[in-house]
């Protein structure tokens, strides 16, 4: 008779991974079906521009991705094929439809946005959206007699 050893940490980690995956899909508006694809993204400043980088390996950029600007939102949506399931023993590569939305400042149009794809990374640059803060200016108050302030 074979002795089965159960590792409680393995089942805990598996449950935490499942819970985190579900939470991530809910946060990014992805449906709850198993294996949904949510591409990770980085957002950083580059001078007065903001650059959003999404990981999209295996995605047909020409036919599978749309980048749109509408109503103060930048939307990147598309589809990645998961590949054949025949004979799969273990699957971590995810496919399916995805949609990521990023809020934009007022006045940003499609003319401010450009997108490039290289080696699995989609980089979307939104030009001129980071404004330098205006320096505070001291305003002189009229009607005050300098002689009145000496007392």
DSSP 39-71: --EEEEEETTEEEEEEE-TT--HHHHEEEEEET
Whether the per-residue pLDDT at 32 is higher than 50: the answer is no
Taking only the tens place, the pLDDT of each residue in 121-133 is: 999 999 988 877 7
Cα separation, 120 vs 55, whole angstroms = 6
Q: What is the pLDDT of residue 45?
A: 92
The residues near 151 (Cβ < 8 Å, ≥ 6 apart) are none
Whether the per-residue pLDDT at 87 is higher than 50: the answer is yes
Whether the per-residue pLDDT at 66 is higher than 90: the answer is yes
Using pLDDT thresholds of 50, 70 and 90, give the confidence band for residue 89.
confident
Whether the per-residue pLDDT at 46 is higher than 70: the answer is yes
| pTM of the predicted structure, to 2 decimals | 0.63
CATH number of 37-83+94-132: 2.60.40.790
Residue 72 backbone dihedrals phi, psi, to 5 degrees: 60, 25
């Amino acid at each position: 008779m074979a002795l089965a050893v159960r590792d409680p940490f393995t089942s805990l980690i598996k449950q935490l991974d499942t819970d985190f995956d579900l939470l991530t899909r809910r946060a990014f508006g992805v449906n709850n079906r198993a294996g949904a694809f949510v591409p990770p993204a980085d957002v950083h400043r580059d001078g007065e521009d903001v650059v959003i980088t999404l990981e999209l390996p295996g995605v047909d950029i020409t036919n599978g991705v749309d980048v749109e600007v509408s109503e103060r939102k930048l939307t990147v949506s598309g589809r990645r094929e998961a590949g054949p399931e025949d004979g799969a023993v273990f699957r971590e590569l995810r496919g399916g439809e995805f949609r990521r939305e990023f809020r934009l400042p007022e006045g940003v149009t499609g003319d401010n946005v450009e997108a490039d794809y290289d080696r699995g990374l989609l980089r979307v640059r939104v030009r001129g959206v980071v404004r330098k803060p205006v320096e505070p200016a001291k305003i002189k108050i009229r009607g005050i007699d300098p002689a009145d302030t000496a007392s």
